Amino acid sequence: MALIEFNKEGKIAIFTINRPDALNSMNVQAARELHEALVAFRDDDELWVGIITGAGDRAFCAGADIKDMLPFLQKNLPQRPWAMPATPMRGLELWKPLIAAINGLALGGGLEIALACDIRIASEKARLGVPEVTLGLIPGWGGTQRLPRMVPRCKAAEMLLTGKAIDAQEAYRIGLVNRVVPPEAVMSTAMEWAETICQAGPLAVRAAKEAMIRGSNLTLEDGLKLETDLEAYLMSTEDYTEGAKAFTEKRKPDFKAR
C-alpha cells in the first residue's frame, strides 16, 4: 500500500498522506514516497498545480512518527543530515504552486508540510500547532523559519515556545490559512483554487512564486533585479505571445507551459 497516494486530475496533482490509522503521521518510508511523488510532479509538464491532503477526516498530518522517524533522525542528523529525502520543506526547489487541503490535525511536521505550501485551505475542525518543544525538540522541517515569516512574530513565538495548537479560526485571523470551510468542502475548495490557478499562464505562475520566495531573502534592489530577469524570460516564451494575442482578440488563452 502506498503511503503517499499520487493521483492526477487534468493539470492538477493530488498527494494524499495515507496513514489514517496513525493520524497520517510521517514515517521514513512516507517521507521517501513524498519526495518521489513531488519530483514526479515537478518534472511532469502536464501537471501545473499540486494539492496535498490527508486520508480520512481526522488529520492532515499529525507530524513525525515517534516510533520510526524520530529514531532515524536521532541516528542520522548529526553526521548525515542529508539522509532525509529532499522535500519542499527542505532541499527540494519546487516552483509549481502547492495547496494544502488541511482536513484535520496539522501538527509538528504536518504543519510544516502545510507551511511549505503556498495556499492553505483549512477545515473548521482543523487544529494547527508545533508541539516539538514538549518533546524536548524544535521543529526540524522549517517551522522555526517559515512560521515567523508568515504570521506576527509574537504569535509565532507563542506557538513555537509553548507548543500549544490553535484552531482554524485563529489560524485564519493571524493569516496562517487562506480560508476556513466546512470539513466536507475542504477538497472541493482546494480544487477550485487549483483550477483558478490553472487558468493563468503556468510559467508566469511559477516565476511569480520564485520571485516571491527567492526575493524574500534579498534586498529590495536585488529582488527587483530578480523580478526583471524573470519578466524578461517570460516575454520570450510562447505562453506570453499567446496570452497577449488572446487579450487583444478578447478570447481565452490556450497556454502550453512553453
User: Which residues have a catalytic role annotated?
Assistant: 112, 132
Question: Hunting for cell 526547489 — which residue is that?
Answer: 93
CA dist., res. 98 & res. 83, Å (int): 24
DSSP state, 22? G
The residue type at 56: G
- Block residue for cell numbers 512518527: 65
CA distance 70 to 141: 13
AA letter at 21? D
SS (H, E, C) 97-156: CEEEEECCEEECHHHHHHHCCCEEEEECCCEEECHHHHHCCCCCCCHHHHHHHHCCHHHH
CA 103 to chain centre: 14
Q: Which grid cell is 210?
A: 520564485
